[in-house]
Every structure is written in structure tokens, then in C-alpha cells.
Chain A
Amino acid sequence: MTRIILFFCIGITLNAFSQKDLPTTDSNAKKYLDDGKNTDADADIRIAVTSIVTGFLDLAYEQRINHTYSVELGGGYQFNRGIDVFKLVNELEFFPYDEVLTKGMGFSVTAKRYGGKEAISEMTFQALTYRNRNSDFETYSYNAQDIFYTFGWKYLLSNSVSAQAGFNAGLRLAKYAQTGTAGIEDVKKTGFYGGFSAGFGYYIKY
């Protein structure tokens, strides 16, 4: 009896070995598509690196509306006089430019359109931005309203860290206002605004 059971067990084992271990097709695509990368992000929080040159620390929050469009709200704090090329171009002789910066703030609103239904991840985008920056000095203030178009690129550097770069071109409406001494009228200037901008962000998936 023991022999029969033993032969039976050996038979089953050999049969199991002779059966091929075949893989199966799998409808759970998520398992294979999950590479840890946040390519389908809902939002992006970003710091603009190039704004530091102008003395501003700009933070932006971008919210995806659908796979093509997004909106972005930004806020900036001026910590330094910085170098603003477009301000230097329009400098007025009678303003005391060497004054100390007392306060500087700004905000921006941007509408973005991405190509290839790739909002807001790795793709090129076109954007239209309205930005308002105000810098207060000891005796005067400088206000710049920029309306500009951007053609840019979005990259996913690691799983969630993003980078953005873009070329801007538009219009600057600048206003110099004397705050310390009475009698000097405000001066308004209109000119070109443009250049290159870049920043780093972090993708959020809600």
C-alpha cells in the first residue's frame, strides 16, 4: 500500500514538472504602468529661479483644468533691488535710484495651454500672463504691469520634481510715482518686456 501511495505521489510530482509554467495576460495595466513618476499630476508648486535676479522671490501654484489647459496664480516678495533690465532701460534722471528698497510685492495670473493633451506634465506649453509688481523705495515707488506670451517646456526631473523653462515676449506698463516730495507728477512708460524664465517645482496628485 505504501509503495502504491509513493508511486502515486512521484507520478503527481513528475506530472507537475512536465506541465509548462505559462504566464498569463493581465488586465491590471496599472501594475506595469506604475513607474513612480507623477506624470498625471493635478497641480504644480513652483519657485521661479530667474526672478531672483530681479530681486523677487516668486512662488506659483498651477492647477490643471483638463489635459490641455491649466491656470496659474503666483505671488512674489521683493527681497533685493535686483537687476531689472527693462526698468534700467526706462530709467528717469530725476528719480533717486540709489534709494533703499523698503517693500516690494507682486502677483501674477497665467493661463496655459499644453500640447498633446499633456497638461501639466512633460510637454511644451503656450501661456498668457498678467503680472503686477510694485516696489516701494524711500521717496518713490515703481509699478510694473507686464502682459506677456510665453512658449515654454515642462520637464519631470525625478518622480515629482519638475522644471520649467520658457521664452517670454510682451508689453510693460511702468509707473514711477513720487511718494516723498510733493510737486513731481507720476511718470508712465510703455515698453517691451521679454526674456527667459525658468523655475523648479513639485508635482502634486490629489
Chain B
Amino acid sequence: MKKMKLAKISVLLFFIAVCTNTSVAQGKIRVKETHGDLFEQKGRGFIDVVELPNGGYMSLSVGSAGGAVSIGSFIHFVQYKALYYIQRYDKNLDLVEQKQLDIDHLGKNLAFEKLVKFQNEFYVFSTFVNKKNKKKYLFYSKLNVEKMALEGSFIKVAEVKDPAAKTGYEESSFDISLSKDEKYMVVFGKDAEPIKKKSKSFFGKSSKQSKIGTYDFKFTFWVLDKDFEIVNYEKNYAVTLKESSDKFYVRDFAVDDKGAIYILGKNNVVDELTRAEVKSNKRATWVDINKSAFVLEKINSDGTTEQYITPENDLFVDMNILFDKKGNINLVGLNGEQVYAKLATTGVSRIVLDNDNLDEISNVNDNFTEDVLENVNDIMESEKAIDNMKNGNRKGRIQKKAKKKLAKMTPEEKAYFDIKKRAALNVNSIAFSGLDENGDAMIVLEEQHLEIVTTTYTDANGRTTTTTTYYYHYDDLIFTKFIGDDVVQNYYKKSFVSINAPLQKSMDVSLKNGELTVMTQGHIVKSDGDLTKVRDAELKAFSRSEKIPGMKRKYFTYRKTVNEDTILAPAQNGKKVVWYKITVD
């Protein structure tokens, strides 16, 4: 499995995606762009970059050793091993030193899991699958930043069941999260489970995914205090609802400053319609979304639990957990409406819950405004004409055309045409959510969709070739802010297409003084405090005209917001690297 992952990473890194990029903003901002010196990196792709207490930076990159040869379709010689490298830079992002980070222990290959800054120290978490014990173990070791090496022993923290690449099993996984004050750490573990034969979710996507987030609501967790002592633990924990056999899927989890953990699960209840029902109702879809609620379960350190379920009749597309300064829980979510098999996002909501008993303190909902939808859904004049015609206005040439278009529409097309005026069709998840200094919640959404185009060519000899091209669209942004009981909204128009390779990350967001800063593909976008204006700046770093001596072309495959004002992004061409530092004034 590790080999497969490496191969996938290599393919992604070597793949040159052809992209197009356009954008429209309501004003301009000033951005400072500097870069460090050119150097040859060890490894291929960056997996993390952090700011060091002394003002410099440290990055981690991954490469591989080994090789593969295939003879025909049956004989394959394959041996790969992931190699990790650590780089240290000064405050100008000039390379100071780089070396291999050896995470092997006692002759065993451990896999890098995560770099975690906890209690002002850096720790490397790594995993090992023990085939004999059929378990995957999670270890941590302290990283000495000065020596750029692990020091001390490897300490085992957690374990999950793993039948070690046995076919028919989903991969086991761990996930790590810290409390806001960094006093507690929670480790979630999911056993490798047999793949269920029927693995389609109601969105039509396969539910076979490797990370926590899409599985049934059963997991193990470990809560560790600042001394790495386990203070709370539950094995195979399951959230259950009284008198309900509904299934849950973990969507988010968090640990608060008191060591209590919160699990946010999505509860889908989908009726599968019979052939007769589909026929009699003239439905093109085979499902009926009865419920798309979220369940929040709080597990206190003494083992007691509290539960909150979102209002039964409300359909939610996505939801995140945030903690305010008082420790109260803010559930920020997307409201939805069913259109055939799809749940279309019609608005945003914020539910504030009391930290002690999860009692609802406030619940604010708002639909997207007409202005936002008109712009993000690109509602054309001709479409407005159809709308006018439906409302009884039948004058003019445009209306005539509209009438013809309306007559040709299938019931499903008509349904999508109608929902376009109430929903952001290509928004299915929250890209960013956060609380500002005043406790106001902000949500950033991005329109994303995949377009698959299959083309068949026939050459002069009559040979037919079929090619499939995947267009990954990353379009307009929607900004929403909850100020008390009011919701303000704005948008940023952009269009970005990555061909045949999805972006690892489409945007980076930071929140400071109530203002959002978003780094998109080639632009920095900034909103003011009450979202009245969204301004942008084009990044020179991403421009082809901005040349780096010794580097013919630049590719950006990774970037990270290291603090509220600074985004770091490496420009790469093969092994040559230059780190850019982008600071927003």
C-alpha cells in the first residue's frame, strides 16, 4: 500500500497539469513577495513547513529509493522505500542545511504520519504495521530542530487492528488533533475493516476512503495531556441514537481545553425507491434523502457524554466544529435542499451550543443572497428571460427563445434550473471556517466540480483512439460572516482549471482582525471586516514572466499559511527549489 502511495505521489509530482486562470475582484491590495536562494532539494515533494521559534523555517520533504521493472504483464520487480528529508532555512528562506531524517528504528521501516508542534516542541509521529500481531502502531519521537534529527526513544501511543494489506480490507488510519491551548492532544484510530460489498453512498461517490471522515461511527480514541499521559481512552467507541439504527459518518473531531473530545458525525437516512415508485413519480433518481443531520457527541474526561442533534427537518450538506473564547461550541454548516440525488447548498448556518450541556444558545440561518447566486452561478440574461416568461412576461425575442428552451428541458433540467436561483450548485463542503477576535464566525466556500470529457479520434488508417480528459474546476469563492444575528455575504469571481491532476490544496486561508486572507491559484484575496469589499492582488511569483536565475520554469505543488500574515510556497523545477514568502500588508 505504501508503494502504491509512493507511486501515486511520484505520478502527481511529475505530472504537468495545464491550467487556466482568471479572476475578478472589487479592488486591489498590496502584497509583498520575497524569495530565498535557489537550491537543489533532496527528495521530491514537500509535506510540511513550519516557522521556528528563532524566526527561521523548517521543511520536510519526501522522496524515494528503489526501482521497478516489469516484464510483460505478470513479472514485476518492485522495491520502493519512502525517504524523508529535513531542511532548515533562515528568516529570508535561504537554505541553511538539509539532511535525511531517519525514522527507521531497530531495522524496521516506519512510515511518517505527521509533524506536530506540542508544548513548543516538535514531535514526529510515525506508524508501523506489524504483520505478525496484525496491528498498526503509532509512535512519537522528539525532533531536535538544531541537530535536525530524532532524539530519544520511539514511544508507542496508540494501536489499531490491521490485517496488513489483506485484500478486501480498508486501510487502518490515525488522525491527530490538538486543543486550542495545546494542553491536550487527541489521537483517533480506525481499525482496518472489511470492505462492504455495497460501498456507494447516496452522492454516488464510493465510500471506500482511507482516512477518518467517511466511515461508520466506530473508532478508538486516546486523549493525552501535556506530559503525554493518556487521560481518556475508549476502544471501539460508537455513537448511538435512542430508537434509531441510523448510520453515522465521522466528519470532524476536536479536543477542547479541558480534555473533552467532540465528535461530529453526519447522519444520512436515504430511502432507496423501488422501480414502481420511480416510474409512478416520474423520478430519474433512485434515492430520497430523508435526513441529512449532524450529531455532536461530547465525551468528557470522566467518560460521561452529552449529545446534540441538529433539527430533524433541516438538511445539512457539511458542518465544522469551532470553539469560542468562552469555550462554547460553534457548529457552522451549510444548509441544503434535495434536487434529485443531489443535496444542493442553499445557505449557511451557525449553531452555538453551551459547553457544559450542549444546550442550544443560538441558531442563525441565512440563504445565499440573490447577488451572490447571480454571480457565482453565472445566471445569464437568457436564463433570466426564462424566469420572466414563467412569471407571465412573454414579450420580446429573448422570451421567444426562452420559451423554446424551456419546452426542451427535461424535468430534471428544470429542477436544476430552478434550484440555481436558490443554491450554489458546485459548493459541497466548507473550505474554511473560523472565529475572529470578536467571536464572529466566518465561512469560505469554493465552487468545485469535475468535468470528464471523452474524445474518440479515428486516424487515416481507421484506427480509433479514445482519450478521457479530467478537468478539475476550482471556481468562485463565497464569503459569509455571522455578526451577531446578522449574516453578511460577498463573493470573489475566479476560474481555475487543472487538467488531469487535482490540486493537493486549492486555497490557504488566514483570519486576522476580522479580515480574511485567501491565497488562491495565483492571487491573494482579502475581505474587509464586514465583507463589503473583496479585493485581490495578482502574485508575481506565479507569473511566468517572473524569472528565477537558474530555473527555467516554476511549478507550485505545495503551500502553507505559517501565520496570519505569511504564506510560504516553494517554486520547483525538478530538484531545483526556491521558497517564496508572501506577506499581506
Contact with B along A70-83 (1 / 0, CB 8 A): 00000000000000
Q: Which residues of A from 145 to 166 have beta carbons under 8 Å from B?
A: 151, 153-155, 165
Residues of A within 8 A of B157 (CB): 25
Q: How far is the CA of A25 from the CA of B66 in the complex (A)?
A: 34
Tell me, yes or no, whether B104 is within 8 Å of chain A by CB. yes
Q: How far is the CA of A151 from the CA of B79 in the complex (A)?
A: 12
Interface residue stretch chosen among A33-41, A47-55, A91-99: A33-41
**Beta-carbon contact of A116 and B83 below 8 Å:** yes
The main secondary structure of chain B at its interface with chain A is strand
Interface residue stretch chosen among A9-17, A117-125, A184-192: A117-125
**Beta-carbon contact of A32 and B159 below 8 Å:** yes
**Beta-carbon contact of B66 and A33 below 8 Å:** no
Tell me, yes or no, whether A30 is within 8 Å of chain B by CB. yes
Number of interface residues of B (CB under 8 A): 40
**Beta-carbon contact of A25 and B156 below 8 Å:** yes
Interface residue stretch chosen among B169-177, B228-236, B522-530: B228-236
**Beta-carbon contact of B67 and A124 below 8 Å:** yes
Contact of A115 among B66, B109, B154, B156 (CB under 8 A): B66
**Beta-carbon contact of A26 and B156 below 8 Å:** yes
Closest Cβ of chain B to A93, distance in Å, is 35
**Beta-carbon contact of B83 and A36 below 8 Å:** no
Residues of A within 8 A of B224 (CB): 25
Q: Which residues of B from 68 to 102 have beta carbons under 8 Å from A?
A: 69, 77-79, 81, 83, 102
Tell me, yes or no, whether B167 is within 8 Å of chain A by CB. no
Q: How far is the CA of A20 from the CA of B69 in the complex (A)?
A: 53
Residues of A within 8 A of B232 (CB): 20, 22
Q: How far is the CA of A27 from the CA of B228 in the complex (A)?
A: 12
Contact of A29 among B133, B155, B159 (CB under 8 A): B155
Q: Which residues of B from 119 to 164 have beta carbons under 8 Å from A?
A: 128, 130-133, 135, 137, 139, 153-157, 159
Closest Cβ of chain A to B283, distance in Å, is 51
Residues of A within 8 A of B231 (CB): 22
Tell me, yes or no, whether A86 is within 8 Å of chain B by CB. no
Residues of B within 8 A of A32 (CB): 128, 130, 133, 135, 137, 139, 156, 159
**Beta-carbon contact of A118 and B65 below 8 Å:** yes
User: Given A25-B229, A32-B156 in contact, is the A123-B132 Cβ separation under 8 Å?
Assistant: no
**Beta-carbon contact of B81 and A23 below 8 Å:** no
Contact of A39 among B102, B108, B155 (CB under 8 A): B108
Tell me, yes or no, whether A167 is within 8 Å of chain B by CB. yes
Tell me, yes or no, whether B18 is within 8 Å of chain A by CB. no
Contact of A40 among B67, B106, B230, B303 (CB under 8 A): B106
**Beta-carbon contact of B139 and A29 below 8 Å:** yes
Contact of B65 among A35, A39, A115, A121 (CB under 8 A): A115
Tell me, yes or no, whether B204 is within 8 Å of chain A by CB. no
The main secondary structure of chain A at its interface with chain B is loop
Q: How far is the CA of A112 from the CA of B79 in the complex (A)?
A: 16
Q: How far is the CA of A122 from the CA of B77 in the complex (A)?
A: 12
Residues of A within 8 A of B65 (CB): 115-116, 118, 123-124
Tell me, yes or no, whether B222 is within 8 Å of chain A by CB. yes
Contact of A151 among B67, B154, B155, B222 (CB under 8 A): B67
Residue of chain A at shortest CB distance from B71: A196
**Beta-carbon contact of A23 and B222 below 8 Å:** yes
Residue of chain B at shortest CB distance from A39: B107
**Beta-carbon contact of B153 and A22 below 8 Å:** no
Q: How far is the CA of A29 from the CA of B110 in the complex (A)?
A: 12
**Beta-carbon contact of A153 and B130 below 8 Å:** no
User: Given A33-B130, A35-B133 in contact, is the A26-B155 Cβ separation under 8 Å?
Assistant: yes
Contact of B230 among A25, A37, A116 (CB under 8 A): A25
Residues of B within 8 A of A26 (CB): 155-156
Residues of B within 8 A of A36 (CB): 132
Closest Cβ of chain B to A18, distance in Å, is 9
Q: How far is the CA of A102 from the CA of B154 in the complex (A)?
A: 59
Residue among B79, B155, B159 with most chain A CB within 10 A: B79
Contact with A along B504-548 (1 / 0, CB 8 A): 000000000000000000000000000000000000000000000
Closest Cβ of chain A to B78, distance in Å, is 8
Q: How far is the CA of A26 from the CA of B155 in the complex (A)?
A: 5
**Beta-carbon contact of A35 and B154 below 8 Å:** no
Residues of A within 8 A of B155 (CB): 25-27, 29
Closest Cβ of chain B to A61, distance in Å, is 20
Shortest beta-carbon contacts, A-B, top 6: A40-B107, A116-B65, A115-B65, A116-B81, A29-B154, A35-B132
A–B Cβ pairs within 8 angstroms, 10 of them: A23-B230, A23-B233, A25-B224, A26-B156, A29-B153, A32-B130, A32-B137, A33-B105, A35-B108, A165-B77
B: which residues have CB within 8 A of A?
64-67, 69, 77-79, 81, 83, 102, 104-109, 128, 130-133, 135, 137, 139, 153-157, 159, 222, 224, 228-233, 303
